[in-house]
Structures are given as structure tokens and as C-alpha cells.
Amino acid sequence: LDYRVKEGTNNNQLCVVVKTVENQNVILASELQLKITPLTFQQQEALGIPLPPDFPPKPVAASVNYITGRVDFNDSAHYRTLLVTGLSLTDINFNIQIFDDQIDEADEGFVILLEVVDPAVAPFVDLSTRNATLGRIDDNDVLRIGFEQARYEFPEAGEIRAAVIIKVDGTVTEQTYMIDVSASDGTAINGLDYIIGGEATQRFTIRPGQQNISFPFEIVEDSILEQVECFTISLENIPEVEPRFETQGTITTTTVCILDRTAFVIGFRETLTNVEENVGSFDISVAILSPDPVTVDPELTFRVFYSASGTAGAADYSPSSGFNLLTFSNGINETFITVTITDDDLFEGTETFSYSLFGVSPAFSLLTFAPNVTTVNIMDNDDITIGFVPVNYTVNEGAGEVLVNVSVLDGSIVNSDTEIEVLLTPREGTGVEFGSGDGTGDIFPQTYTVVFNQSATSHIVAIKFFDDMVYENPEFFFIDLSLTANSQNGVNLSPSTAAVTINDDDPVVIGFASTSYSVLESTGSAVVTVSVLSGTLGPGTQVGVLFSTMGGTATSDTDFSSVSGRQLTFSSSVTSIDVSVNILQDDIQEQLEQFSAGLTFSQSPPPMRVTLSPDATLINITDTDVVFVEFQPDSYSVGEGDGAVILTLVKKGQTDLPVSVVVTTEDDSAEAGSDYDSVEETVTFQPGEMTKTVSVTIREDTVYEGEEMFSAGLSLPTGETNVEIGDNDVSNTTITDNDVVSFEFVPAVYSVTEGQTAVVLTVVKTGQSVVPVTVSFSTDDGSAKAGLDYTPITRVLTFAPNQVSQDVSVNIVDDAKVELDKEFFLASLSVPAGESGASIGAQDTANVTILDNDGIIIGPVNMTLSVPEDVGTLTLCFGIVGPPNVAIAEGVEVRVTESPEEGTADTNDFDEDQKELVFDSNKEIDCVDVTVTDDSLAEDTETFTIVLNFVSTVNGPNVTVSGPLAITIIDNDGAITFVNDTIIGDPLFTVPILVPGFEEEEVSLCYEIHGDTGSYYNLISDSCTSVNAHYTAIQAGVRVNVIDAVYVSATDSADQCVKIQVNLEGCLASVNNVTVNRYALNDVSVRKFTNRVRISVPNCASTKLVMYVMCQERPVVDPDDINVVINAKLIKYVVTRGLNLSPGSHGLIAQFWGIKIDVVPYNGTDDDGVNVQNHYIVTVGHPDAPERKFIGSMYFLTWEFEETPCIYAGNGQGGPLAEFSTTSTNDPVIQGEYTDYSVSRPFEDDFMYAIEDEGSCNP
């Protein structure tokens, strides 16, 4: 009667033995099947099962609650069958699974019920003695207790409340325990430094679920400077119970330390002290500077550490060791460092040392050192002399530097640590300026530094200057000595200045810029240039040169004016001089004549390093007396019918001899022989003749050639040397044509349909031409408007000589508007400005008519096609539903009538009044109201039809209306239908229904479809829309398959097939095999979010179907082993709009749309004789399938716990379900078997219950 097992032992199995207590040797005549069922005490009491009289007292009840997750044992039934006839009964063992729950709890128990399954042998088996036994579960969980930290530190800052934390871990407790905690003084005293409320030892209660205990106390602040003070807190009287507390490895005693928060500052009273080397001794004060005054605990002794450093060493002062200390005790707040300075007779300069405060013992958390450094300068009193040796220096400019010597002249440096920095600074002198080396200045403005010490008593310093390549006089500069700002006292500089002379070494060359010059006799003068050809003259430097001329073949004062000893002076600002020599002109024809010029120095002796080269040049004089012949004028114009043109030649200049020229014509655009007669004629001018003429014959024709041109040129006959050709050596003659051609449209009338790309107009040329001729083409509005109906053109057409016609294409605008049947525009021809060879014929204008090609379809928009009977007024709106983007143009009006017609619904269910709809450019949607009658009759879903009829239009566009529209009235008198538009599909499919009498406003019908690994199944099959899902296993060896891809086929508003795919990996979406993040075209939209994809497609029922494909990762319980939880990736498919499209829809989801689902509560016995509660009889009445009934349970799900209450109808693949009666079949919730919905490919729509596809995806 009593079985016991401890959690975590015996493989978590409770072994129960069933044996025969009487007639052990009986022989079985048939099979005997036994069943044991573990039950909670609550289940046993609810079922009314009696227990044996000697049943042990019940301990704490074990739990089986799958909703909260608190499960202590597996409550599944166990069966055993004794098979072979003739065998004696023996002991039968049953193993019941126990769960190790990691919870500290009391020992628990449950009831184990024994039953005989076989009805035939049940009367012969007596179980009344022990038909129930007690199963006990002993807890094995251990609690660990200890402080969170081994040490706590709290600041002494105000009256603060503090606490230490005691942790209870290792498991969660469901019991109550008591524990003592006590505090003990250390250097911190209770009541002075801290305060424990109440007794120092306190008792705490650990309650179920509690994992932390807080031990509070207060910290007391004072104004006394003191050390860190501590006390301890310990755990006592730890209960030894089962399960017991465990302290091994935990912290049972912790130390609490109080950090003094008295902030104080220790520092030097002086930061800088200057003393003479012979000062002897002096004191440096170190004190507590803040707060002032400060109270120091008399019992507090602490030491401050300081260190020494600097250029002064141990021989110069003491204390000078690396680290030293000062002691503060007996409440003092100031102490001193006594310093002794050593007075020697060595030159050391000023030496420095510093003391630095760097630490304290013991430590104070709020101690700072400020100022923490003091500096002492020891002023030396010994002298030394440094100066130049020698003080005067001379150097050539090309050397670029001068080496000067600076040395210790008197005294010596004996201290190896002593260094003297001396600065050498150049100073400008005569002719010397500072510069940067870029062509300006003579020396760098640079300071040179030399350092003297024990081993360096003399320095050679290179002072840099510029070699400037400038011819100049000797220059001078100076160098001064000075000390740096930090130099030692006692340093004398003497002599402190040196002088430097720089001798110039740069050559200069002066000469003629050219060795020869040429000049025309008529020019009037010859200009000769004398320049500094190399080198540079420096500032203040001058060189004098004399310029003189000498005769040659040219005679002085006849051909030129002589020059003798003209002074030319060159300096830094004058480097080039132009000398002008007068040329004397006559009217005598002469040969080339020459004379020369030369240079000499104006001073004696000549300047050094200056050379004259070249010192002579030759001047050539060219005679300028000539005779010219040229055309005058040099251009002529003649009409084609004038016969000839006369060309005039003019002679310029005097001569006593005859001169001749040759006149020759040459083709340009005019051709000799057809447009004029060529000429090649020698024309002779006798002495005294100044003009001559030449005649050229012009030929006439009947062809338009435009303006043509030929030229006549001048040349000299062979041997003619007495004349030259003038500037007008060519004359141009233009022949003006007197012929024209004509242009017109052929034909002059055109017609084009709006949907065509363009209309082609033909322009024809009449008459001949040998040159291109132009005509202007332009369009003008008629009833058709430029930019709205056609593209305007203004263009100049160019016709080649042999071209007789030309086509012009005018683009027609297909504007997607219903317009007038006929509109027109005009095209015109005109003669362009400047065109002389064109005229316009009789057909100068073409008329183009545009025939409209746009039509519209009037149909339903934005309306609900399925309404409840109590809707009252149903508003039906109609408008342009196609083609896409087509509108009604201004001035056009469309009239359509709307007429309700009976179907299964008659005029008792709706009003049948006919109504008129009017549409124009400002009104593309018109609505009418239809009254739906709400009666009290329980009826099937009924339908009636809305018929549209085209009445008339103004100006007659192409108008069609959509076909009859079916309206569904859903009865509200007894039938249960959907109340929202959301359905969810994954391994658990939830269909929303309305159940009268439920407390919940919404409830869903739930069933499971796990498919087969790697297979495709149809979810929705409707007119124009199909949705398939692909299933895959969540894990090998687990019989749960989930959706990992969804495929949607839909027909868009342009009657095109669109195929949409969403994959679980990456939640990627594609449209027609192209990956997209956003797609919107022809009423199909796809938008990808982070972990979901929204899809909206039109349906042939004029209602959009809106879906979400949600890519999720969530824990899933293995149905075969509820202890195994798998982190699964899967797709949840959700329909959020468009469910009630048609009661004839099918698929694993859509077969429940718009159909009756009756639900009746059921509390009774199922077919196994088990009393069931919270069950329901669900009847599904699909119009295309037999009525199906089954029993479903409430709330209990095997897939997951949904927030919405659920009538669960099946444990996998749409069934099997509990039978409605012993005579009924075992109906699944879906029609047929789940395999009937299998398809072979992702977008396949052919399966057993497929709906005929009316869209373009299945033509």
C-alpha cells in the first residue's frame, strides 16, 4: 500500500508490483489486460474513486500541471497483458516516471489506481482488497546559505543605512526555516561607529521562494580623523533538517569595514625656497592644511613618506637619500624637515633639489597631498670667465661659413654636474642683412648654443652666411655672446663680441644682347640692347660703360646718325639699357647696308671681376622702296542673268618701267563652264597707268543652286621683278541665283489612334536644286492640346539636292483618360528666315485627327461582399476598376444603373430598387445603399446578385461594366460563424469561431497538421489565389514537422500571374524569382520586415487577402517525451484579412471559411467510459462535404499554450478525434486525410479538393 522513491535515484522510476494474493495457481482461459493509472489526490477525489480502508495517511499532494509546468510524475496509464493460456499468474512490475524538479519541498504523494481492462474477464478478478496504492516522492534537494561577500566596505558619510546580503541558493524552497545572525565588535564599536537595531543577535525567517536575507545596520559619522574600523557578522544556529542547509564552501562570517570619510590635505607650506650656498641649515614645514582646524585622534599615529631628487647631490645638502618619512602623532598637525646646505669653494652654478610627498601609512581613503612638491635652489657664489679668441675674422664669401673660437679664459669647472649654456648671436653690420637663404639677406638670423662643462672648456662654432652670387663691396657683421635665462650666477663673458669681414668673389659680364641687328630703312631708328649677361651687381655697386658707332657700307650721317662715347651706368637696379641710333631714310632703291657699334669701360683701371663680352655688334639696314598691284575692290556680286562681271586692278607706287601681273579665275561653289567662263589673262601697266579691268562672262540656268562663288587671283609672270602683289591679291565674286523650289503636305489629312506611338506626316519638294534647301515645320493646337494629347514640334527640315520628300514623326500621348472620340491638331509649313530658294505650295497645312483608344470598366470598389443579416444598410460603392490608372477626362460623363436580383435570398431579404450611378472627371466613385432585412428565421447563408447596366455617356467613350456581383447574407439566428478575420497556421492551426454562452469573447477551433518531411501541402485554394506550405522536421528523430517555406500564387489587377515565395532562412521574400524587400504593383504588395513578411493580393471576389509569414524561433515540447524541449525555427502563417471570401474555398485552412460550425458543451463519459469535463461536441457543415462531428477538449494543447481559449480537436495530422458516439466513424476535423492536400511542387494547385482557378496563374 505504500511505495517510496527519492528524487534523482533509481533512474527516476517508481517500481510498483501487482501480484495475485489469492488463487495464485489459477490457469488463465483467455488474455488478461491490467491497467494502472497514476492520479493526483484531486483527480482521485474528482473521479470519486474509493480508497482501501487501510490506505496510508495522505502526505502533501504531488502535482501534474502542464500549464504551469509543475509536473512531479508522469500521469500516463500503463498496460500489461498476460497472453498464453495455461500459465500461472506471477508478479507484474510497473514503472512510473518521477521528475527531479530542483525544488526544496516536503515529501509528496499520489494515488496509483489498478483496473482490469478486459470486460470479459473483469467479473472474475477481484481488486477490492488493494485497487489503489500510495506513491511517495522523497525530496533530494539541498539549500546552500552564506554571505554574498567575505568583506564589505561602507563609507562614514552621514547617518547612512547599510546592509549585508545573505544568499540562499542551490534550489528554490517551498518550506520555512529560521536562522540566527549576530554582530561582534572589532576596531569598530557598536553604538559609536555603527548601530545594530535591537539585539546584536537576530533571528530571520526564510520563507518559500526567498533567496536573499538582508541584515541591516547604520553607520555613524564623526568629525575625527581616524583609521579604517571593522566589525564581523556571523551566521549561527543553522538548522539541520532534511533537506538540510549546506554551508560547506559558503561564507558564514563576513567582515564589515567603515572607511573614514574625513577628507584632509597634507602639504608643504612653501613650494619654492632660494638659499645661498653658505646658509647653513633651515626648516621646511609639512602640515595638515585642510580642514583647518582639524581634530586628530590622539591614539592615531601615521607616517608620511617623502623622496628627494634634483641636480644637487648628497655632497650639497641633507637629508638627500631616496626615501624619508615624517611622523604625525599625539594629535599634532604639523612637522618639519630640517635641511643642511654644504658650503664649498667649487664653481657649480645654481643647483636644485626637490622633496615630494608620495604616501602614508596606514592608508586614508580621503587623503590628498597638495602641494606635494617643494623646490630648493642653492645659489653658487664662485666666478668663471668665457670669451672669443681671437676677436677678428676674415673670410671669402664662397666659404659659406666662418669658424670662431669660444673658450674658458679664467677659472675652471670642477663639478661634473655643472653646465653653462652660452649663446652666440650674429648681428648685422655694414652691407650685411639677415635673410632666409632664398636670395635675400647675407646671414641666417640664427642663435648658436654651446655648453661648457668639466670636459668641454673650448668650442669652435661654424657661423653660416650666404654665398649670394652678387658682385658687391666687402661686408662686415658681428657675433655677440650671451647667457641663457637659466644660466648660473658668477659667469662673466669677455671679450663678448667678435667681428667678421666677408670679401666678395663673384664675377660680372656686361655685353651686347645680340651680335647683330636688322632694321628697315623706313623704321627711323635701330635699338641696340646692352645688359648684365651674367652675375649680379650688389646694392651700392656701379659699373660705367661707353657706347660708340663706326661706319661700314652704311655711311655715317648719310644712312645713320653717329654716336661717340655715350655713358651707360649699370647697378643693382639697372641691369639692361636700350641704345637708340637714328636711321636716315631716302627714296633711293639701295642694296643691304651695314655699320657697327662697340663698348669700352668708362673708368681706369677697369673694375675687377667685370668683363665686356660681346663688346661689338653689327647693324643691317634694308631698303623699303617698292611698287604694288592689287584688286580694288576685292569682292563683287552679280546676278545670274547679268551676263558678266568687271574686275578692277590698281597699281600703287611710282616706276618708269612697264610692270605686268597675271589674272586667273578659280572655282569655289561656282563651276567654270556651267556657271561662268574661266579667265587666265596677263595685264600690263604702262608707265603712268594706275588702273586696269578684266571681264568675266556669267552663264544662266533653270536649276536652284543658291548663291555660288568663284575667285580671281594675281600672280607675277616669269621674270617680273619690278612689281609686287599687294594685300588684295584675290577677289571673290558671288553669283546670286534667280531660281526657287516649292514645298507642301502630301496628303494634307491624317488620322491616328491614341494607342499608336506617333503619326508620320510627309512634306514633298517640287522643283530642282543642286544645294540643300530648308523649310520650317511646326504644330498648332486644335481640339487636341500640346503636351496632353501630342508632343509639339517646331523644326527646320533640310532637303538634300536630290531629295523630293521627307517624313516628320509627331508623338501621340496615350494619356489613360477616357476622352472625346475625335480630336485634332494642325501642322504648318513656312519659309525660314534667310532661305532664298524655297516657296510654300497650296497644301501648306496638314490636319491630324486623334482617335481615342481608352475604355473603362465600372465595377465594385471598397465593399464587403459577405455581411451578417443584422447589418441594416449595406453600402455598395462602384468606380473605375480597370484598366490600371485610367481616368475620365473633363467634359465626359458616364451613367450606369445598379439592380439587385434574387438568388437564394429574395426580396424579403433585401430591397430591390434600381439606382443610377453617375461618374465624371471629378467623381470616379459613386455609392448606393441596399437595405438588408433582419428577420428571426434560422436560415442558411443566402446570396443575391448586383447587376450593373451601362445606360449612356456624353461624347460616347468606351465603357463596360463588370459581371454580376454576389452578395452573401450570413444568418444570425442560430448559426455560428466567424467574428474576426484572423486565422493562424503552423503545426497548430487555429480557426476563430463564436460560441454562445462562453465567458470569453473569442474562441478558436484548433487542430494539428504536421505534414511530412520535405512535402508540400495546400493551405488555401480559392478562385485566383492558391497558398502552399513546405514542411520540414524540427530535429532528426522527432515526429514534429514545421513549415519552413510559403508559396503564394495570385492573379493581379492586370490579369498577370504573380508568384510569391517566403523562406524561413533569413525570412527572405521573392516575387517572380526576384528577391525583394518591398513590392507594390497592380494591387499586389509584398513588404519584408525584420522577422516577418506582409503579403496582400487581390482575389476574384474583389476582396484583398492579407497574410503575414512570420519567421520565429521558440521552444517546442517533444510530444513523445515531454521532458525534451527543442528550440525550433518555424514559420507561423497568419491570415489577417479576407477570410470570408467564399464558403466554397478549400485547403487545410480555407475549407472553414464562411461555413457553419455548431458547438454544444459536453460533460459525460467518452467511448472508453471515462468521465470527461470541459468537452464540446463540434459539428462542421461544409457545403461541399458530409457533415462531420467530433468531441473536442477545452484549453489543453499539445503544441503550445495559446492566449486565446481553444477547442482542441485532435493530437496530430487533423485527427484522430474522440468519437461522437459508439456507432459513428472517427471523423477528423479536416475533410478527408491530410495527405489529400499534398501537392507535388511549390506553386502546384492540383490536389483532391482544389478549386477551379479562374486567374492567369492556371490558364
Count of CB atoms situated within 10 Å of the CB of 866: 22
Instruction: Give the integer Cα–Cα distance in Å for 1069 and 1130.
Output: 15
- Nearest C-alpha neighbor of 9 from the set 174, 159, 136: 136
Q: Which of 713, 718, 716 is nearest to 728 (CA)?
A: 713
- What is the maximum alpha-carbon separation in the chain? 176
Per-position b or e across 215-233, b if 16+ CB within 10 A of its CB: bebebbeeeebbbbbbbeb
Note whether 558 and 651 are within 8 A (CB): no
Q: Which of 998, 993, 953 is nearest to 970 (CA)?
A: 993
| The pLDDT of residue 522 | 84
| pLDDT surpassing 90 at residue 818 | no
Q: Given a cut of 70, is residue 975 above it in pLDDT?
A: no
Q: How confident is the model at residue 1169 (pLDDT cuts 50, 70, 90)?
A: low
- Cα 1026 from Cα 1037, distance rounded (Å): 32
Q: First vs last Cα of the chain: how many Å apart? A: 74
Number of other CB atoms surrounding residue 985 within 10 Å? 24
- Please give the Cα distance from 309 to 353 (Å, whole number): 5
Residue with C-alpha cell 564599536? Answer: 189
**What confidence category does residue 649 fall into, taking pLDDT thresholds of 50, 70 and 90?**
very high
Among the residues of 308-413, which ranges form H helices? none
In this predicted structure, the answer to whether residue 435 has a pLDDT above a threshold of 80 is: no
Buried/exposed code over 135-167 (b: 16+ C-beta within 10 A; e: otherwise): bbbbbbbebebbbeeeebebebeeeeebebebb
* pLDDT (tens digit per residue) in 106-116: 888 999 998 88
Reported as a single tens digit per residue, the pLDDT across 281-311 is 999 999 888 887 777 777 777 888 888 888 8
Q: What DSSP element (H or E) covers 93?
A: strand 92-97
Mean pLDDT computed over 435-459: 82
Confidence label for 133 from pLDDT (cuts 50, 70 and 90) = very high
pLDDT of residue 156: 79
Euclidean distance between CA atoms 807 and 805, whole angstroms: 7
Q: Whose CA is closest to 388, among 315, 496, 465, 485? A: 496
Q: What is the average per-residue pLDDT within 180-196?
A: 86
Please determine, for residue 933, whether its predicted confidence score (pLDDT) is greater than 60.
Answer: yes
DSSP letter (8 states) at residue 148: S
- Only one residue has cell 545670274, namely 640
- Alpha carbon 917 to chain centroid, angstroms: 51
User: Which of the listed ranges 109-113, 117-121, 880-884, 1004-1008 does the model predict with the highest average pLDDT?
Assistant: 109-113
At residue 246 the predicted structure's pLDDT band, cuts being 50, 70 and 90, is low
Is it the case that residue 945 has pLDDT exceeding 50?
yes
Give the confidence band of 158 by pLDDT, cuts at 50, 70, 90.
low
pLDDT band at 1100 (very low <50, low <70, confident <90, very high): low
Taking the mean position of all CA atoms in its chain, how far away is CA 239? 62
What amino acid is encoded at 251 in this protein?
Answer: I
What pLDDT was estimated at residue 205?
A: 81
Task: Report the distance separating Cα 629 and Cα 845, nearest Å.
Answer: 57
Arithmetic mean of pLDDT, 1126-1146: 78
Given this model, what pLDDT does residue 224 score?
78
Q: What is the pLDDT of residues 989-1029, one digit of tens each?
A: 887 775 555 555 567 788 888 888 999 999 998 878 899 99
pLDDT reported for residue 1197: 46
- Determine the Cα–Cα distance for residues 1074 and 1060; give it in Å rounded to an integer: 9
Residue predicted with more confidence, 679 or 1172: 679
The contacts found for 841-844 with CB under 8 angstroms, 24 or more apart, are 841/742, 841/743, 841/744, 841/766, 842/744, 843/744, 843/745, 843/746, 843/747, 843/748, 844/744, 844/745
Angle at 222 between CA 217 and CA 224, to 5 degrees: 135
pLDDT at 423 over 60: yes
The per-residue pLDDT for 998 is 54
Residues 6+ apart with CB under 8 A from 527: 517, 578, 579, 580, 581
Give pLDDT tens digits for 62-73. Answer: 888 766 667 888
Give me the phi and psi of 689, to 5 degrees please: -80, 130
Predicted local distance difference test score (pLDDT) of residue 587 = 67
| E-assigned strand segments in 1077-1199 | 1078-1081, 1084-1088, 1092-1097, 1105-1118, 1121-1137, 1156-1165, 1171-1181, 1188-1194
Q: Are 1249 and 1146 in contact (CB under 8 A)?
A: yes
Residue carrying the nine cell digits 463588370: 962
Cell numbers describing residue 703: 536649276
pLDDT given for residue 1166 in this prediction: 64
Give 738's pLDDT tier (boundaries 50, 70, 90).
confident
Confidence band, pLDDT 50/70/90 cuts, at residue 387: very high
Q: Among 540-554, 657-671, 698-712, 864-878, which is the least confidently predicted range? A: 864-878
**Per-residue pLDDT averaged across 431-454, rounded?**
80
Q: 754 vs 508, which has greater pLDDT?
A: 508
Q: How confident is the model at residue 393 (pLDDT cuts 50, 70, 90)?
A: very high
Radius of gyration of the chain (CA): 61
Cell readout for 18 is 501487482
CA torsion through residues 7, 8, 12, 17, sign:
negative
Q: Which pTM does this prediction carry?
A: 0.32
Cell triple for residue 806? 521627307
Instruction: Name the pLDDT band for 1215 (thresholds 50, 70, 90).
Output: low
pLDDT at 1201: 46
CB 816 within 8 A of CB 786: no
The dihedral formed by the CA atoms of 812, 816, 817 and 819, expressed in degrees to the nearest 10: 40
> Could you report the per-residue pLDDT of 663-715, keeping only the tens digit for each?
999 999 888 988 899 999 999 998 888 899 999 999 888 777 778 899 999 99
Mean pLDDT across the chain: 82
Phi, psi of 1236 (to 5 degrees): -70, -15
In this predicted structure, the answer to whether residue 39 has a pLDDT above a threshold of 80 is yes
User: What CA–CA distance (Å, rounded) separates 987 from 1133?
Assistant: 10
User: What band does 595 get if pLDDT is binned at 50, 70 and 90?
Assistant: very high
Pairing of strands 384-388, 491-493: parallel
CA–CA dist 251, 234 (Å, integer) = 9
> Is residue 844 within 8 Å of 829, Cβ to Cβ?
yes
Burial class (CB in 10 A: 0-12, 13-18, 19+), 68: exposed
Q: Of all residues in the chain, what percent are helix, strand and coil, respectively (each to 5)?
A: 5, 50, 45
With a CB cutoff of 8 Å and minimum separation 6, the contacts of 1054 are 883, 884, 1082
* pLDDT of res. 1255: 59
User: What share of the chain has pLDDT > 90, as a percent?
Assistant: 24
Q: Walk across the sheet containing 497-503 and list its strands.
A: 392-396, 497-503, 475-483, 420-427, 448-452
Angle at 10 (CA atoms; ends 8, 16), nearest 5 degrees: 120
Look at residue 932 and tell me whether its pLDDT is greater than 80: yes
- Strand residues in 782-815 grouped as ranges (E): 794-799, 805-811
* Residue environment code for 918-933, b if the CB has 16+ CB neighbours within 10 A, otherwise e: ebbeeebebebebebe
Is 977's pLDDT higher than 50? no
User: Is the pLDDT confidence value at 1084 over 80?
Assistant: yes
The pLDDT of residue 240 is 55
Q: Could you tell me which of 915, 962, 969, 966 has the C-alpha nearest to residue 945?
A: 966
